[in-house]
Structure 1
Amino acid sequence: MESVLPPGIKREQFAALLADLQKAVGREFVFTDPQWELPAYNDAYLTTPAEMHQPSAAVAPANVEELQRVLEVARHYKAPLWTISTGKNFAYGGPAPRKAGYVVLDLKRMNRILEVNEKHGYAVVEPGVSYIDLYRHLRKIGSKLWVDCAAPGWGGVLPNMTEHGVGYTPYGDHVTMQCGMEVVLADGTVVHTGMGALPGSQTNHLYKYGFGPSVDGLFTQSNFGVVTKIGIWLMPEPPGYRPYMITFEKESDLHAITEALRPLKVNMLVPAVAMTVEMLWEAAVQVTRRDYYTGKGPIPDSVRKKMRKDLRIGAWNFYGALYGPPPMMDNTWEVIRDTFASIPGAKFYFDEDRSKDDVAWNYRKKLGAGIPNMTEYSLMNWIPNGAHIDFSPISPVTGVDATKQYELIRDRCNKAGFDYCGEFAVGWRDMHHIFCLTFDRNDPKEKARANKLFGELVDAAAAAGYGEYRTHIDFMDRIAGTYNWNDSALLRMHEKVKDAVDPSGILSPGKMGIWPKSMRKGRA
């Protein structure tokens, strides 16, 4: 792949830009080779040509001071930077920039765990700290605090929060659990949010809101600044942990499951993020499609029934966990069991009821205890050369909405020739529907079909009143365009903020559909 230039920058200017970046961070941390270095910043799961997202270079500062120097260089040349942390945001674009020619601002070297406060239950981390890093550190120091991790343990604690990610313990709402933030603005100003704005603050990571407007949220899913440090609340190890699984026989049971779950969740009898998982998700982490079916199109019902029988899973599989002293867990379980037992065919499992070799159960059990792992990436083995992009609409926690979304996605998915693979994650009063659109990354025709299907799903979901909470870089503008109430008043406000805090427009242009003034005509 040939080298590309940043938008609006000529070859001789680019050479000067690279030289200045090398002065800022050191020659070895500016990456320019299109054959050996820059492919690390490709998205392996693209459904569009890789040339659309090829970076011109990448730069990796080690600390805030080096970052400030990088920003100074970028402002001087008006060079667009695309900020990444661990670069593991796969299914949503991975480390690839929004447009070709951007310089990737890679924060992987800023990977310090700055503090673990056992008494108050929090950690302070930089962008490059993964869930695995934090977990190992806590074990090394003998901490009794639990990490709440995303399914792939190599993801970053800070960037998952800024992308509105969720986990699997009672601390699963990562934005809620963030407290205190350090941000470097485009002009190099370092800002501490909340209580951290008070010199010598004793409560920087204890009280989220500080004095005056709370601005932390402005720096999540945005391009208004570079987040370089966050406090994250960690769950103290409970006196007991008892994960469970409930399987349901019929596809139509989704309505009843969701209706039964809502009061349990609102009343905190199910304290963690609750997962209702369609059978294929649980099957695909342990078997492949060709183990059961070699035909074209979605797998038939007869094959699905055999898979369920072989793997002892249901058409839908509900995962939850009990936390606390054993008597409390016993009492809570009685309510949960009686509620779900009203659904005919429900079967109940604890750890002792599942095989020690049950891959799907084992990784769900680990996630509920805050143990990072990578098992879920076995989903990509479902088909040869497996890749995926995730479609993630939000809905109310009702049986009607769950069924409507499921059928809306399943029917279009099957019509396009893909298998439906999805799960519903129920938070406080919302439901994330995660549809894993899996395709052969080496088949151009299949990639094109996946891209077309994804766009159709965006439009169909918006027409039904469902918006996505997160998306792949190729669809950011399209989805931002669906949030268009009152002549897109929200987007216009975002643009005003962008123009105020980043007038040069250097930070991640186009992220979440937010473009600087100089590039708004170039939306795509």
Structure 2
Amino acid sequence: MSATDEAQSQIPTLPASHSGIPTYLLEKAQRAKQAVFDTRTKGRNQRQRLPVVPQGIERDVFMQALSELKDELGEENVEINDKPLVDGWYMEHPNTHDMMTILDEEELVASAVVYPGSVEEVQKIVAWANKYLVPIFPISMGRNLGYGGAAPRVRGSVTIDLGRRMNKIIDINPEDYTCLVEPGVSFYALYEALKERGYDHMWVDTPDLGGGSIIGNTVDRGVGYTPYGDHWACHSGMEVVLPTGEVIRTGMGGLPGNNTWQCFPYGFGPYSDGIFSQSNFGIVTKMGMTLMPNPGGYESFMYTFPREEDLAPLIEIIRPLRIAQILENVAQLRHVAQSVAVLGRPRSEFYTGSGPVPFSILHEAASKSPIGDHTWAYYGMSYGPPEIRAHKLALVDSSFRKIPGARKIDPSTLPADDYFFSRDKIAAGIPDIHELRWVNWTPNGSHIAFSPVSPIRGTDATALFKLGKELHDKYNIDFFPAFIVGLREMHLIVEIVFDRANQTKKKEALDCLRELVHEAAKLGYGEYRTHLVLMDQVAGTYSWNEGAVGKFNEKLKDALDPNSILAPGRCGIWGRRYRGRGWEMGLGKEESEGHGVGVGFP
């Protein structure tokens, strides 16, 4: 298939495909896809290849093991990864590798992909992996783009794609405002199900892009933008297959016949759910989530602020309003660079010089946009009946106008396709796809994120902004900062956009990110999640008391996964078959593979 044919091919839709898009977004998705391919210069991969065999197992033994697995699951549910790697795009992404790879595409690649259709089949795969000591890497849908996508950390791992055949919405309870889902249920799919069943009194909280798995996003501690934006805090009850094959249900699910599994997350005794988030301690096959009540009305608002130095006083204004929930939702404070990039136009339309685009040019571009020139843009939402909203919005307005030159944007002056209306939908629990536009900033646009967490304080915001700007300038990279403000903390999300066909740009992006992580840690700021290739480095920054938390994780890993078969290396946690053999990546070491695996375990 040519690039033109690929760009114009039909996008999968719901409910025909579990990974499809709702029909209300189909036209918008087609435009987004065309824009991706319009800027793509990287040719379609024609590299002929044999399946990668994981270290520690002979090729003949491995191929025989895969044949045995086909007998267990059905030949159609085991795919050997021996064809050229196809990148696709957001809605038609690969499950064999990282479509936005920062390394060579063969570095983090699966040997095969298997598709279980039930918990029992997941158990069969786990038993098989223990028998042959094959590393396995579970994904829900593999759309964690910017953090590694579907790629396994250990080259040659067998990817367990849980989404294709385990994608049921098991329950939606309209009285308790809860749901129970399998890994293949996307935010798009749950939103459509609520509408189809007439449950307009309930909302689903959604991230910037709605195509990801609810379970996958939640266990990686992703966020959305309603008051229910902390997804991990909104989950209740998990079913998990352990690396030795046992199945457990956490919380109230441990009591047979219990009907409060999705209502009360804790149950009795130690709260074990946390060890299955950002870890490699189990495979989550079911998860309960709480749904947000329809507040009976909502109103989006947007303010812009003119100067870079407005950041610190603005954050000081935001903090008390956010803690008091006058600013109610998980909102975004975005820099003008992102405002320009999200227009969806390539960088070359604004600047063709070397180095980062000068801020003066970004301001000139912003001045020609519907919202006008600015340095910071705050997107928020107020909820409830009109009289309640009016009171809260008046408080916000009087507070924000303490910043000289603050402007409230009138939505009626904006075109229908303005980014404001995408934020409006997302803050109202309506999934969208608009956010994808800024990836078109470079040819073959890819991204990788710097994601430190700090208190909501002007000094912290200023320190992180200064660090980010200095290092982006050092590595000739455009700086796209956005502060995502929670109740008592904020995430600075900096998307580094790079051309994945350009080896120089890839190296600059990775070098910049490594130095950002290193320098931020020296200032006391840690990442809340990260890309596969940064996991060892980020885990290493949590080094208090000689790395006590890392040692604790290793103890849990060895107890729960004695053969080290489940997602080795994920979040910097290595089982004892891998430890001490050079698998860790970090400053000065970009090789993703180590020197063999241990024998004689457990």
TM-score (norm 2): 0.85
Of residues 363, 367, 375, the one that matches 2:434 is: 375
Of residues 217, 228, 240, the one that matches 1:160 is: 217
Of residues 441, 446, 453, the one that matches 2:505 is: 446
8 Å CA contact retained: 2:340, 2:362: no
- 2:258 is the alignment partner of 1:201: yes
Structure 1 residue ranges (4+ consecutive) displaced by more than 3 angstroms after TM superposition: 36-39
| Higher helix content, 1 or 2 | 1
CA deviation string 1:3-49 (max 9, x = no partner): 21012110121122101211222111111142157873211222212
8 Å CA contact retained: 1:81, 1:103: yes
Q: Report what 1:302 is aligned to.
A: 360
Of residues 548, 562, 568, the one that matches 1:509 is: 568
Q: Report what 1:11 is aligned to.
A: 59
Of residues 311, 315, 320, the one that matches 1:254 is: 311
Deviation (angstroms), 1:353: 4.0
Secondary structure of 2:482's counterpart equals: strand
Of residues 81, 99, 103, the one that matches 1:44 is: 99
8 Å CA contact retained: 2:81, 2:110: no
CA deviation string 1:264-303 (max 9, x = no partner): 0111111210211111222212133222212121111321
For 1:512 and 1:255, how far apart are their aligned partners in 2? 32
In structure 1, list runs of 5 or more residues that go unmatched.
Answer: none
For 2:204 and 2:517, how far apart are their aligned partners in 1? 33
Secondary structure of 1:295's counterpart equals: coil
Deviation (angstroms), 1:137: 1.1
Q: Report what 1:218 is aligned to.
A: 275
Q: Report what 2:80 is aligned to.
A: 32
Aligned positions, number: 523
For 2:465 and 2:309, how far apart are their aligned partners in 1? 10
- 2:406 is the alignment partner of 1:346: yes
For 2:250 and 2:209, how far apart are their aligned partners in 1? 29
With over 3 angstroms needed to count, the CA separation of the structure-2 counterparts of 1:37 and 1:228, relative to structure 1, is farther
Deviation (angstroms), 1:383: 1.6
- 2:376 is the alignment partner of 1:316: yes
TM-score (norm 1): 0.98
8 Å CA contact retained: 1:38, 1:57: no
Deviation (angstroms), 1:62: 0.9
Q: Report what 1:192 is aligned to.
A: 249
Amino acid at match of 1:146: W
8 Å CA contact retained: 1:165, 1:174: yes
Secondary structure of 2:238's counterpart equals: strand
8 Å CA contact retained: 1:423, 1:434: yes
Deviation (angstroms), 1:222: 0.4
RMSD of the alignment, in Å? 1.2
8 Å CA contact retained: 1:420, 1:435: yes
With over 3 angstroms needed to count, the CA separation of the structure-2 counterparts of 1:36 and 1:51, relative to structure 1, is closer
- 2:112 is the alignment partner of 1:57: yes
For 1:426 and 1:302, how far apart are their aligned partners in 2? 27
Q: Report what 2:168 is aligned to.
A: 112
Of residues 231, 239, 250, the one that matches 2:296 is: 239
In structure 2, list runs of 5 or more residues that go unmatched.
Answer: 1-48, 88-93, 585-602
User: Which range moved further: 366-375 or 216-225?
Assistant: 366-375
Q: Report what 2:545 is aligned to.
A: 486
For 1:12 and 1:44, how far apart are their aligned partners in 2? 29
For 1:433 and 1:96, how far apart are their aligned partners in 2? 25
8 Å CA contact retained: 1:7, 1:102: no
Deviation (angstroms), 1:414: 1.6
- 2:199 is the alignment partner of 1:143: yes
8 Å CA contact retained: 1:31, 1:37: no
- 2:539 is the alignment partner of 1:497: no
For 1:179 and 1:112, how far apart are their aligned partners in 2? 17
For 1:346 and 1:257, how far apart are their aligned partners in 2? 10
Amino acid at match of 1:258: I
For 1:282 and 1:124, how far apart are their aligned partners in 2? 37
- 2:334 is the alignment partner of 1:280: no
Q: Report what 1:330 is aligned to.
A: 390
- 2:478 is the alignment partner of 1:419: yes
For 2:336 and 2:507, how far apart are their aligned partners in 1? 26
Secondary structure of 1:520's counterpart equals: coil
For 2:73 and 2:309, how far apart are their aligned partners in 1? 57
Of residues 14, 22, 32, the one that matches 2:70 is: 22
